[in-house]
Amino acid sequence: MSNDESMPLTDKLYRTRYEPDAAHPHVRVDAEAYRRAGTKKLLKICPAEVYKPAPNDPEAVQTSHENCLECGTCRQAAPEEGVEWTMPDGGKGVKYRYG
């Protein structure tokens, strides 16, 4: 299988099987730390677009933990923005990666 750079993100994410734990999200952002940092790196660095601007507050961020690839990019590139990341509970999170 080739690595097609023109493939949309949604198609790439479809190749990864997740089992999200809606009751216990493993990714959170401390809202005050995010505001204090003022850098908004999280909106640019996540390869799975887990972080998006909050629709009602451009200075806040919302997370879609069910898209998380568990790569750790957010923790390494933007620790000052208040990322709280823990391993998903047993049996949850990324299950299988195609290709």
Domain extent listing, the chain: 9-97
Closest CA to 65 of 56, 74, 57: 74
Digit-coded pLDDT (tens) for 51-63: 999 999 988 999 9
Task: Kindly report the pTM of this predicted structure.
Answer: 0.76
1 pLDDT band, cuts 50/70/90, is very low
Check the CA dihedral 25-30-34-35 and report its sign: positive
CATH of domain 9-97: 3.30.70.20
